[in-house]
Structure 1
């Protein structure tokens, strides 16, 4: 593709679609085709492997922060978080995570200033994955990182804090809304039926919350200025792919794989790593789909399909950065 100097600002056009749904069906199909093509061009499997490395370094510090925050609501909330993790991921991966949560619960002895320092360090460590995802998102969008470090540094921490808060609120909501459903059921005469209904209805709510968190990450990470959407097409695609891939991988491990024979006592760790890699592929495919939808919008405005950037940049790189882009 020919290189063009990145510029801030939108390309003038006679028509500008209001959103990703304001494009013809043919543009959606073309976006899907381009997403499949860019999967190989952008080496998403390799990028997912890199993200998996940062995920390993980040997931346990993130669990430490979550256990500390959720634990303030009592052991019931932590147990609910553990149960939901066990149901959402393959058995071996869930076993590794729940064991880590139990260990972290037993080691929470720090208090006061030292406890806050420990949480701050854990939060910073957890933000390493977000920083890697920011860089990867720019590759997916074919744009340079024009934001200076004094912007990206607080941004990575801010995104991490928001995601941790959202996960905490989701866990607490699932924990205590069960009691609220029981109270409401008793009030209107439904009794335990209300709890049964909520036990079913909470899963679509959890699914929406996961899509929302992924959509937030997609919006905040790249150096691309776009309108925020509660659920983006890419986040919906990523979560659906993640659920299907996780279920398929769990079935494969349970029925066909021989990780235990090959890796012995390390089998659980290897299964967890492979599952993280598959999860990151799903997340990157969703971001790629969002990027190609944006390209389709730009093309409908009259921008040539091979011209870049096709999105407005949050920050434009300096002349030297721009001249060396792609080298």
Structure 2
């Protein structure tokens, strides 16, 4: 956000609504109106559309290496066919073109000989991981812009953080896969009749949704170059991004299904363009959630960072050290 729109720490409180809020739910409607107004302005000022486009480009380069890394690691401890089974749970919320591309890649990787998967996990995993972290690095840059931070860390440190975040996200995906496979199986064998069947059908989406919120929250907290925000100041944006991603995915799925002109326009490139546009929309809602979190922090004078409360100007985060 434009630094001229922020009051620095040495300015006295102006009595604006929400200045003493220590939790987002303590914000009044007047404070929320100011926050949402700045979020709307921030879409243009922080160039969210351009950043999302860059993230989408790197996302296209990263998504298939990330899938390869996920299957390679998962295949060491469990049946990699579970990945394909779990993918079916996401079919209703993914655009058809995107789902088909991902499904084909997953099927090709699973069909590879086990020795090849093992070789990839031992010898080529580092290269695959290096490619997969490209999308995370782009999102890290976007987080710094939204939160008003300048990342002065060395390239080695930036790369190390992006790799660790990528590994963390792969670990979350593996845990989610185990849960998606195991929980419905247990429910099917429980003696709760029809309710067990309903829960078995709904549980995979709930688990995947929870995993998405967790990943987005971790991105908000650890990706930008700043003192980590308290969970309460990232949860609102993470929930908004997760719901927004679901709505965007469903909307794009309906659009691609009902407007055949899309494929006629792009021809054989239709699937790639569909994937690119879906990644763009997904990145945009994630950045929008971060923008909301940043503006919420700018609305209050309370310390929004972790650790003991510190005065403004000593908190190690631009949005925590300033008020809008």
- What's the TM-score bracket when you normalise by the shorter of the two chains? 0.7 to 0.9
TM-score by length of structure 2 reads 0.83
Aligned to 2:94: 89
1:238 deviation in Å? Answer: 0.9
Q: Could you list the per-position Cα deviations for residues 123-148 of structure 1 after superposition, in whole angstroms to 9, with x for gaps in the alignment?
A: 12111111111111111112211333
1:118 to 116, 121, 124: 124
Q: Contact conserved, 1:20 with 1:297, CA < 8 A, in 2?
A: no
User: Structure 1 residue 28: deviation in Å?
Assistant: 2.2
1:295 is aligned to 2:322: no
TM-score, with normalisation over the residues of structure 1? 0.82
Is 2:199 aligned against 1:197?
Answer: yes
Supply the distance in 1 between the matched residues of 2:146 and 2:47 (Cα, whole angstroms).
Answer: 10
Aligned match of 1:164: 170
Does the CA-based 8 Å contact 2:143-2:223 persist in structure 1? yes
Q: How does 1:63-142 map to 2 (within 5 A)?
A: 63-71=67-75, 72-108=77-113, 109-110=115-116, 115-142=121-148
After the TM superposition, which residues 173-188 of structure 1 pair with which residues of structure 2 at under 5 Å, given as runs?
A: 173-183=179-189, 185=190
Task: Give 1:111 deviation, angstroms.
Answer: 6.0
Contact 2:62 2:131 survives alignment (8 Å): yes
Give the secondary-structure state (helix, strand or coil) at the position aligned to 2:270: helix
Q: For residues 159 and 2 of structure 1, what CA distance do their matches in structure 2 show?
A: 29
Q: How far apart in 1 are the matches of 2:87 and 2:118?
A: 26
SS at match of 2:24: coil
Tell me the SS of whatever aligns to 2:25.
coil
Contact kept, 8 Å, 2:71 with 2:80, in 1: the verdict is no
Cα separation, 1, equivalents of 2:192 and 2:46: 54
Pairs aligned (count): 302
Cα distance in 2 for partners of 1:114, 1:68 equals 7
- Deviates further, 84-93 or 274-283: 84-93
Residue 256 (str. 1) matches residue 259 (str. 2)? yes
Deviation at 1:60, TM superposition (A): 0.6
Does residue 147 (structure 1) correspond to residue 147 (structure 2)? The answer is no
The corresponding residue for 1:244 is 247
> C-alpha displacement at 1:262, in angstroms?
1.2
CA deviation digits over 1:258-288, x for unaligned, max 9? Answer: 1221121221111111111111111111111
Q: Which has the higher contact order (CA 8 A, sep 6+)?
A: 1
Q: What displacement does 1:164 show?
A: 0.6
Q: Which runs of 5+ in 1 are unaligned?
A: 314-327
Superposed CA RMSD = 3.1
Matched, 1:276 2:302: no
Larger mean Cα displacement after TM superposition, 284-293 or 24-33:
24-33
Cα offset, 1:67, TM superposition: 1.4
Q: Give the conservation status (yes or no) of the 8 Å contact 2:62–2:133.
A: yes
Indicate whether 1:21 and 2:25 are aligned.
yes
Distance verdict in 2 for CA 1:191–1:43, change over 3 Å: same
Contact 2:39/2:292 (<8 A) preserved: yes
Alpha-carbon offset, residue 299 of structure 1: 8.6
Deviations 1:168-201 (A, max 9, x none): 1101101111221123x1xxx3256413323224
Separation (CA, whole Å) in 1 of partners of 2:140 and 2:214:
17
CA contact (8 A) 2:22 2:303 kept: no
> Secondary structure of the equivalent of 2:228?
coil
Question: 1:229 and 1:60 mapped to 2: Cα distance?
Answer: 31
Q: Secondary structure of 2:105's partner?
A: helix
Q: 1:112 to 1:106 in 2, by over 3 A?
A: closer
